[in-house]
Amino acid sequence: MAEEKQAVTRRRFGRAVAQAGAAAAVPAVLAGTASGQIATPAPGQVGPVLVGNYAMVDQIRVGGIGIRGRGMADLRMMLGDERVKFVAIADIRNSAREMVKSTVDNYYKNNDCVMYKDPTEILERKDIDALLIATSDRWHGPMAMWAAQSGKDMYIEKPGAMSIAESYAMAENVKRYGVVYQSGCQRKNQYAFEFAVGLARSGKLGRLLAVHADTAIGLGTVDAGGHGWWAADAPEPDPLVFDWDKWLGPCLWRPYNSHYADRGRGEFWDFHAGLLEWASHTVAMAQWAADMEHTEPVEYEPEGGIFRGDGLISRYTINCRYANGIKLVLRNHSWDLLGSCSNRFEGTEGWVETGDSGRIAVSENLKSLLPTRQGKRYDPTAEHIREFIQCIRSRTPPRANAEVTAHTHVASHAAWICAQLNRKVTWDPAKRMFINDEEANRMRSRAYREPWRMEALATNM
């Protein structure tokens, strides 16, 4: 008895509860059965819900596509989750394939991670349930659509689409095939942002007046310069080492130069989603705070920007307005130095601002609500991936699901089009078109280079 009492310390109690929970969560599969072989649930036991290929009873088998810098951060977190088994990598770069395989095999202490040059080979593998996609921007939309068509859930880095049309097409495919989509908008699972959104949505700020989104980077491609030049021709590398045609993907053809892949991605409109580099995070948070996740602002107007013709852009503000009058302000200046990707929400009874530092600033009257401990509390990427894995099992949409991501992207693309045209534009969310503005409407989509295509109803809208 004494031993039993001693065993139930607070720490041990937590462990015991976790173990009990884990046992309760074990679905009706006999130990040792192969993945996906389902036994009849015992009386009183809730059986597993199998959808498609998802062997939720065992581990979720994940494949990766295009994993380098940012993708490696995601991969680390996935490997650390015992519900995940990472089994394969596809990349057009030989070096990237080998780096991921080495990391994964080193972690699992085996040699099992399979390498593919062509992502379609991973998509064809019926034993892979979900994908981690961390290619560059131009491939996110097509990959998401392919993954959905293959019935695979996906955690996919942002920006999720290069145009308004692609945003809708991506969400349409995810909905059609009923897969789980989590955009790499990890701030949706970051405490400081959750707190700020909570203040806005719980009425603590009073009636909401404006939500502000930091769009600090992605400036080089906002106007003409990003369209205007090619790097010098260079001999194309061996496709087995680096497949230039596949790197280009659906983007317009241009001769090879290592500059594009190595460091110049952000300088070119063709390869970069401009404002969305940060807007896909910060506008997402703003739309969440304003309870506008399923629509977009109806007006967009640039203010005070120096939109130069050489592709560089300095201080700027884009004022947007939702149909209910709430403002969405995209700006790259005058932030409270709370970290990158800041957001500020203003209401009739107060304001809140936060950023990646995890610190939170509020109006004087709200200071009593501030958490006692400021700063980062946990890794948002880990938490975001954790939510993704949970949603794979529950078949429910995560916070950064395809639909809210599409609306975020449409709003951000519309703002970017406004910046490129350097004039006010008006948007009709129901008709998915700019009002009386043919030039802006033509900028809603980007034709894919052959032989790539998007299979969607939302094409010419």
Q: Which of 77, 96, 326, 352 binds another protein (CB under 8 A)?
A: 77
Q: Which long-range contacts (CB under 8 A, 24 or more apart) does 241-249 make?
A: 241/93, 241/94, 241/95, 242/92, 242/93, 242/94, 243/92, 243/117, 246/92, 246/118, 247/92, 248/449, 249/138, 249/139, 249/142, 249/449, 249/452
Choice between 32 and 451, CB closer to another protein: 451
Q: In angstroms, what CA-CA distances link 195 with 36, 204, 384?
A: 40, 11, 16
Instruction: Determine, following the binding rule CB under 8 A, whether residue 239 of this chain makes contact with another protein.
Output: no
What gap in Å lies between CA 408 and CA 445, rounded to an integer?
16
Q: Which of 159, 167, 157, 204 is nearest to 366 (CA)?
A: 204
Instruction: Determine, following the binding rule CB under 8 A, whether residue 220 of this chain makes contact with another protein.
Output: yes
Residues 352 and 369: beta-carbon distance below 8 Å: no
Choice between 154 and 208, CB closer to another protein: 154
Q: At 25, list the tokens.
A: 């969560």
Cα–chain center distance at 342: 17
Instruction: Determine, following the binding rule CB under 8 A, whether residue 49 of this chain makes contact with another protein.
Output: no
Q: Which stretch binds another protein (CB under 8 A): 4-12, 263-271, 284-292, 319-327?
A: 263-271
Q: Which of 99, 114, 115, 370 binds another protein (CB under 8 A)?
A: 99
Q: Rule CB under 8 A: which of 174-203 touch another protein?
A: 176-178, 184-186, 190
Instruction: Determine, following the binding rule CB under 8 A, whether residue 129 of this chain makes contact with another protein.
Output: no
Q: Rule CB under 8 A: which of 365-424 touch another protein?
A: 376-383, 386
Choice between 158 and 399, CB closer to another protein: 158
Binding residues with another protein: total (CB under 8 A): 112
Q: Which of 227, 310, 221 is nearest to 267 (CA)?
A: 221
Q: At 166, list the tokens.
A: 């692609």
Choice between 358 and 398, CB closer to another protein: 358
Q: Which of 28, 79, 115, 370 binds another protein (CB under 8 A)?
A: 79
Q: Which of 88, 128, 136, 208 binds another protein (CB under 8 A)?
A: 136
As measured in angstroms, the least distance from the Cβ of 425 to another protein is 13
As measured in angstroms, the least distance from the Cβ of 345 to another protein is 19
* Peptide linkage before 451 cis (omega within 30 of 0): yes
Instruction: Determine, following the binding rule CB under 8 A, whether residue 459 of this chain makes contact with another protein.
Output: yes
Q: Rule CB under 8 A: which of 319-348 touch another protein?
A: 332-333, 337-341
Q: Which of 60, 210, 219, 361 binds another protein (CB under 8 A)?
A: 219
As measured in angstroms, the least distance from the Cβ of 443 to another protein is 6
Give the H or E element holding residue 283.
Answer: helix 276-289
Q: Which of 382, 296, 287 is nearest to 343 (CA)?
A: 287
What gap in Å lies between CA 144 and CA 448, rounded to an integer?
15
